[in-house]
Structure 1
Amino acid sequence: MTDSRLSAITQRIEARSADSRAAYLERIAGMGEQGPHRGQLSCSNLAHGFAACSEQDKQALTLTESANVGIVNAYNDMLSAHQPLGEYPELVKRAAHGVGCTAQVAGGVPAMCDGVTQGTPGMELSLFSRDIIAGSTAIALSHNMFDGALCLGVCDKIVPGLLIGALSFGHLPIIFAPAGPMTSGLSNKEKAAVRQQYAEGKVGRDELLKAESAAYHGEGTCTFYGTANSNQMLMEVMGVHIPGAAFEPPGTEMRNALTVAATERLCKITALGNEYTPFGHVVDAKCIVNAIVALLATGGSTNHSIHWIAIARAAGILIDWQDFNDLSAITPLVARVYPNGSADVNHFHAAGGTGYVIRTLLDNGLLHEDVKTNWGEGLRHYTQEPQLDNGRLTYIDGVSSSADTDVLRPADDAFSAEGGLRLMEGNLGRSVIKISAVAPEHQVVEAPAVVFDDQTELAAAFEAGELEKDFIAVVRFQGPAANGMPELHKLTPFLGILQDRGFKVALVTDGRMSGASGKVPAAIHLTPEALSGGPIAKVRTDDLLRLDATTGELQCLVDAGEWNSREAAVRTGDGSEQGTGRELFAHMRRAVSEAESGATVF
C-alpha cells in the first residue's frame, strides 16, 4: 500500500498541475490523431526521407504498416560514456528488421563532458547544452517519419535534454537505451585522496594524472554516483528504460541483448500495434515523484533538483524544491555509493542495484506501483533481473535481499531515515543542500563570510594561505543568467583540506556543485542569483553567516535595518562572456529562468 504521505505530496502536485497537464495531454493527443505521420507526407517529402534506404526498407516505409524507429544518438568518441553508442545504430537496425520493422538515425545531439570542462570556461556552456540537446531532439523527430524513437544517451545534461525534447513528441512511444558504466579502476576514495594531496602540493601533476587515468580508464560511464549514473537510476524507476538496463557494462553480450530487446519492445508499443504506449502518458506526476524518491533514496546528484523541474514542466507537471524537501523527509537512504560511501556503481549493481532499490521502496509503500511503463502496467516489472538464455534476453525475479548491506540496505533498516536533500531558506533566499555525505558535526556552520565573485579567487586565496580559519565561502555571480551556472567542483579539494585541518567551513553559492557533491556542506543553486540583485549580492566579507542544514536555515546575521538598506554588489567587468563559444549563448543567459524553475530557456 502506498504511504499516505507520498500520496498526499503527489496529490498536491497533481492539483497544482491540473491545468498545465491537461493542456499538455490535449496537445499530444492532437498530434497522435493523425496516425503514422509519414503517411501524411507528400510523395516528394517521403522520397527525401528514405532516399538512402535499401529497397526492402523503402517498400516497408511506403506501406506504413510496420513501425519505423527514429534513433536519436548522443554518440561521440571523446566522451567515454557515449563512445559505445557508435555501434548502436547498426545493432538497432538489425533488431528492427528482425521483427519486421525499420530504423533510421533521425539525428544526433551534442554531448559534452563536465569532467573535461570542470573548472574551465567551457563549463559555462554545460547547463545550456541541456536545452540545446532538447531542441536538437525535436529537430531530429520533426521529420515525422517515425512511429517511435530510441534515445541513446547517458551523461549529465544529455539524458535530461533528451527527455525534454522527447516529451514534445509525447504521442510517440520512446525508450531510452544507455551504454553502461566502465569497469572499476582506481577507487574513488583513492582518487579523491590524490586530488587533495595535489592541492596541498604533496604530489605533482604526473602523480595526479596517473591517478586520474587509473580511475577513468576505458569506455563507459564514470563509476562514481554522480549525475550520469543518477540519470540511469531515474530512467529505471520512471519505466523509461527496459528493466535492468542501467548498469550493465558496455561491450558485453548482455548489453547488446538489452539494446536489441529495447528495440523490439519499441516496435511492439507503437500506435500500429495493440500495446500503444505514448511517452507523454508514461511521464506523469506519479512517474516524476518516483524519480525524485529514487534520487533521494540513493543519495543522487544535486543537479537533478534543477533538471527534473525542467523535465516535469515539459510534461505539464509543476514541482519545486519544497516537493523535494518534503519527499526527502519521508524517504530513507538505502544506498551508500561514492561520494556517499566507498563503493562504486559496479559494486552497487552487484549488490542488487536498481532492481533491489525499486523492490524495497515498493515493499515499503514509498513508490507508486500503479504506473504505466515502457514494459507494461506497473512498476513491479522493474524489480526483475535480466538473464541470457541461448543469447536471448529473459527475466527472472530479482534479488529480495542485499548482497552487501554496507552498500544497499532495505528501506525499513536504512542508513538514514531521510534522503538528505534539504531546502534552505532565510534572508539570503532559497537554496538546496545535500547532506547525505556530510558528517553530523559539519552540518551546522556559523562563521564569517569570505566573498568571491569567481571560483579562481577562492583557489588563489587558498594558495596564498588566507583561508586557514573558520569561514563560509560565498561564491556569487555563478547563476544561470550570470554565466550559465557552472559546476564549482574544483573547489571541493580546497574546502575539504581545510575541513580536514579542523576548520569549520561551508560554501554558499548561486552556482552548482558537481553531481559528486561530497563531505563539505554546500548551500547551492541560491535563488534569486546575484546578477538579478539577489540577497547574496549584499553579503560582505566578515559578515557572520549561519548555515544550519538540520533546520534548513540560511541567514546573514546582520542587523535587519542595515541589511535592508544595503545596496547589492554589481559584478565587475562587462559580463560579455567571450571565448570558448560563450558569446553564442548570450541570448540564453538573457532568457533563462531561475534555478528553482529549472534554469531553462523554454
Structure 2
Amino acid sequence: MPPCHPVVARVTERIEARSRPGREDYLRRLQAAADEGPVRRGLSCTNLAHAFAAAPEADKEALKALQRPNVAIVSAYNDMLSAHQPLERFPALLKQAVREAGGTAQFAGGVPAMCDGVTQGQPGMELSLFSRDVIAMATAVALSHNVFDAGLCLGVCDKIVPGLLIGALHFGHLPFIFVPGGPMTSGLPNEEKARIRAEFAEGRVGRDALLESEAKSYHGPGTCTFYGTANSNQMMMEVMGLHLPGAAFVNPNTPLRDALTIAAGHRVMALTARGETYTPVGRVVDERALVNAIVGLLATGGSTNHTIHLVAIARAAGIQVTWDDFHELSSVVPLLTRIYPSGKADVNHFHAAGGMGFLVRELLDAGLLHEDVLTVAGEGLRRYAEEPWLHDGGVAWRAAPAASADPEVLRPVSEPFSADGGLRVLDGNLGRAVIKVSAVKPEHRVVEAPARVFEDQQQVLDAFRAGELDGDMVAVVRFQGPRANGMPELHKLTPELGVLLGRGHKVALVTDGRMSGASGKVPAAIHVTPECLAGGPLGRVRDGDIIRVDAERGRLEALVPEAEWQAREGVAASAVSQHGMGRELFGLFRAAATGAEDGARSFGLDADSLRTALDHERVG
C-alpha cells in the first residue's frame, strides 16, 4: 500500500480532530441500535402481521420465522426523469436476487425525484435544494417500520443520492448498497450543443433549432451524459465504497447493467448482521471515505454542488467538513479528466477510456486516496481499481486497463491535465465563496470589472437581450441564497455570459446562489456566504463598484474605500417570492437553513436554532 500523501493525511487528521465529539456520539447511537439485535423481534404480532400481509407466500413464511434478513428497497423511480426511468425494472431483479441469497426484500418506499434540467430557470428550481432534505426524510419514513436488516438505495441525480445517503446515515447501523441506473448513450456532441445554445442566445437561430439540438442531446433512458452533479454523485459513491466496483457508468437496459443490479442484491445479504461481514453504512462513511469523495471530485473536475452536499452528508455521520478542506486538497490533487463542460467528451467516453477503475488505481498508487477503508465490496478501496464484465451469465471483475484508451479524456497522475483540482475558496470583503476553474482558461481567472447588480437571473437575461451588457462586467446576482429563495441554480445564465466572454469582454459572476454542476468557462464565485438575506455584504454592492474576482490568489473583493464600504447599508430584497409552485410548503426549510458552507441543511439543528427559525417564519 503506497504511503498516504502528507496533505491528504493532514486534512484527514484535521477533520478527525474537529469531528471527534460529534462522531463519537454518532457511533455510540449506531452501536446502541445495532445491539438491539434483529429489529423484527421487537415487534408485536400485530405489527409484524401488518408488515408482511401482502408479501408472496414464501416470503411471508420467511418473515414469520424471523430467521432471514429482510432488505428494504428505497427508490427514486419515476418515468419523467430519464436517469430514473430504468429503475422501474430494478425492484423485481433485486427481490429475486435477495431470495436467491436466502433473504427477503420489500419495496419500502419511494422518494421524490425532481429534475434540475427541467426546472432550470423556472420557479420549481427554488424547491430543488431542499428536495434533498425531503428525500432524506422520505428515506427515514420508508425505513421507520423497523422491519429491515439492510437497504438498497436506487437513485442517480442531483439531490437524490445525497438525500438517500443522508437518510440512510440516520439508520447507520444498517448496511446499504447504492444501485445506480447508468448514463444514456451518447447523443449530439457537446461542442455542437454548446454552439447552438450560444447562437440562440444571440438570436441567430430560433427555438425550433434549439429544441431539436437539445432533444438530440437528451434522447433516451439514462443519466444526462455531461459531467454535472448527477454523474459526480456516481463517481463519489464508488470512491466512498457504496457501489459495487465499476457500477457507475454502465448504460441502462444492458446485460451488464442487469448483472450488476442482481449482484447488488446478492451482495447486500453478506453485509447484514447475520451475514459474513457486517458492514453498517455509518461505519463505511467515515472521515477517510469523505476525504476520498473530495479527492475524487477534484481529480475529475466534478460538481460545485458537492461543496454543499458533502458537508451535509458528513454532518449526518457526525463529521465536520469545511470548504478549507476542499481548498487544501485541491492544491495537491491533479486533474485527470476532461469531461464536458471541462472538455468535449462525455461520461461514456470517460468510461470507455478506462473509467473509474483506472482513475481509482491512479489515485491509490499516488497515495491520494485512503485504501484501508470499509466498502460494500468488502476488501478496501483497491477492489475499485477493477472493472466489471459479463462472465458465465453473471458479473465478474478484472483489473482496469493499464493505460488510458484516450489521453484527451483520461490521464495518469504522471501526466495530468492540471497539477491541481481547480476548486478554490475565495475570501474578502464580499464574504467567502467557491469557484471551479477546471474549465476556465488561465487568462480568465482574474477579473476586475464594474459591477452590474441584479436580484434574479431573469433581470440579467433581460439586460442582455436589451443590449445593455456590451462591456466588461461582474454580474452580481444576489438574494439567491438558501434562506432567500432556496438557492436555485443559475445555469440559465451560462450561454449569455459565455457570449459576452466570446466577444472579448472580461466577465464574471458573483452570487449567493448556485451555478450548475456543469459550471463552465465563465469564472463564477458562487455560494457566497453569508448570503445577502442574512446580512451578507453582497447587499452593499452598487452598480459601478469595481469587483475583483481573483481565483489565483483566492480573493473576492469590492474595491471600495474602507470607510465608504463600512458606512454603506445593505439593501432589502425587493422581489423574493414565497408563493406559488409549492414554495409555501418550504417556508420552514428556508427559515431554518444553515449557510452554504454548513451544507445549507435543515436537519441537525439545536433547539435554539429551531426556535429562531420558527420565530422568523411566524414573522414572515
TM-score calculated relative to the size of structure 1 = 0.99
Which residue matches 2:608? none
Are positions 1:450 and 2:488 aligned together? Answer: no
Are positions 1:306 and 2:308 aligned together? Answer: yes
| Counterparts of 2:118 and 2:112, CA distance in 1 | 14
Paired letter, 2:69:
A
Which residue matches 2:612? none
Task: State the shift of 1:100 in Å.
Answer: 1.6
Are positions 1:122 and 2:143 aligned together? Answer: no
Paired letter, 1:383:
A
| Counterparts of 1:496 and 1:4, CA distance in 2 | 39
User: Residues 454-473 of structure 1 correspond to what in structure 2 (within 5 A)?
Assistant: 454-473=456-475
| Counterparts of 2:248 and 2:309, CA distance in 1 | 19
- Assess if the C-alpha contact under 8 Å between 1:359 and 1:400 holds in 2: no
Task: State the shift of 1:7 in Å.
Answer: 0.4
Which residue matches 1:70? 72
Paired letter, 1:274:
E
| Counterparts of 1:87 and 1:55, CA distance in 2 | 22
The alignment partner of 1:103 has SS state of strand
Which residue matches 1:177? 179
Which residue matches 1:237? 239
RMSD: 0.7
Which deviates more from structure 2 when the two are superposed, residues 446-455 or residues 386-395? Answer: 386-395
- Assess if the C-alpha contact under 8 Å between 1:511 and 1:524 holds in 2: yes
Task: State the shift of 1:576 in Å.
Answer: 4.7
Paired letter, 1:580:
M
Task: State the shift of 1:400 in Å.
Answer: 2.0
The alignment partner of 2:297 has SS state of helix
| Counterparts of 2:69 and 2:251, CA distance in 1 | 29
Paired letter, 1:341:
G
Which residue matches 1:541? 543
Which residue matches 2:613? none
Paired letter, 1:267:
M
Task: State the shift of 1:387 in Å.
Answer: 1.4
Which residue matches 1:505? 507
Which deviates more from structure 2 when the two are superposed, residues 53-62 or residues 205-214? Answer: 53-62
- Assess if the C-alpha contact under 8 Å between 1:80 and 1:221 holds in 2: yes
- Assess if the C-alpha contact under 8 Å between 1:155 and 1:221 holds in 2: yes
| Counterparts of 1:339 and 1:387, CA distance in 2 | 29
Paired letter, 1:203:
V
Task: State the shift of 1:390 in Å.
Answer: 2.1
User: Residues 112-511 of structure 1 correspond to what in structure 2 (within 5 A)?
Assistant: 112-511=114-513
Paired letter, 1:67:
P
Paired letter, 1:433:
I
Paired letter, 1:589:
R
The alignment partner of 1:133 has SS state of helix
| Counterparts of 1:5 and 1:583, CA distance in 2 | 45
Paired letter, 1:583:
E
**1:358-392 Cα shifts (integer Å, max 9, x gaps):** 00000111000111101113100001111111211
| Counterparts of 1:338 and 1:190, CA distance in 2 | 12
| Counterparts of 1:265 and 1:35, CA distance in 2 | 21
Which residue matches 1:581? 582
- Assess if the C-alpha contact under 8 Å between 2:485 and 2:577 holds in 1: no
Which residue matches 1:529? 531
| Counterparts of 1:217 and 1:454, CA distance in 2 | 30
| Counterparts of 1:279 and 1:23, CA distance in 2 | 16
| Counterparts of 1:232 and 1:271, CA distance in 2 | 27
The alignment partner of 2:521 has SS state of coil
Which residue matches 1:102? 104
The alignment partner of 2:187 has SS state of coil
| Counterparts of 1:412 and 1:551, CA distance in 2 | 26
| Counterparts of 1:335 and 1:582, CA distance in 2 | 38
| Counterparts of 1:30 and 1:324, CA distance in 2 | 33
Structure 1 runs of 4+ with >3 Å offset: none
Paired letter, 1:238:
M
**1:252-301 Cα shifts (integer Å, max 9, x gaps):** 01000000101110011100123110111100000000000000000000
- Assess if the C-alpha contact under 8 Å between 1:576 and 1:583 holds in 2: no
Unmatched tracts of structure 2, length 5 or more = 604-620
The alignment partner of 1:373 has SS state of coil
Paired letter, 1:601:
S
Task: State the shift of 1:532 in Å.
Answer: 0.7
TM-score calculated relative to the size of structure 2 = 0.96
The alignment partner of 2:288 has SS state of helix
| Counterparts of 1:306 and 1:104, CA distance in 2 | 32
Task: State the shift of 1:96 in Å.
Answer: 1.0
Which deviates more from structure 2 when the two are superposed, residues 168-177 or residues 55-64? Answer: 55-64
- Assess if the C-alpha contact under 8 Å between 1:364 and 1:412 holds in 2: no
Paired letter, 2:584:
E
The alignment partner of 1:524 has SS state of strand
Which residue matches 2:601? 600
| Counterparts of 2:391 and 2:244, CA distance in 1 | 17
The alignment partner of 2:500 has SS state of helix
Q: 1:572 aligns with which of 571, 574, 581?
A: 574
Which residue matches 1:25? 27
- Assess if the C-alpha contact under 8 Å between 1:81 and 1:154 holds in 2: yes
Which deviates more from structure 2 when the two are superposed, residues 32-41 or residues 276-285? Answer: 32-41
The alignment partner of 2:484 has SS state of helix
| Counterparts of 1:30 and 1:187, CA distance in 2 | 52
Question: Between the two proteins, what is the percent identity of the paired residues?
Answer: 63
Which residue matches 1:591? 592
| Counterparts of 1:576 and 1:182, CA distance in 2 | 36
Q: 1:554 aligns with which of 548, 553, 556?
A: 556
Task: State the shift of 1:4 in Å.
Answer: 1.4
**1:292-316 Cα shifts (integer Å, max 9, x gaps):** 0000000000000000000001001
| Counterparts of 1:99 and 1:6, CA distance in 2 | 39
User: Residues 55-66 of structure 1 correspond to what in structure 2 (within 5 A)?
Assistant: 55-66=57-68
Q: 1:82 aligns with which of 81, 84, 91?
A: 84
Paired letter, 1:422:
R
| Counterparts of 2:379 and 2:33, CA distance in 1 | 23
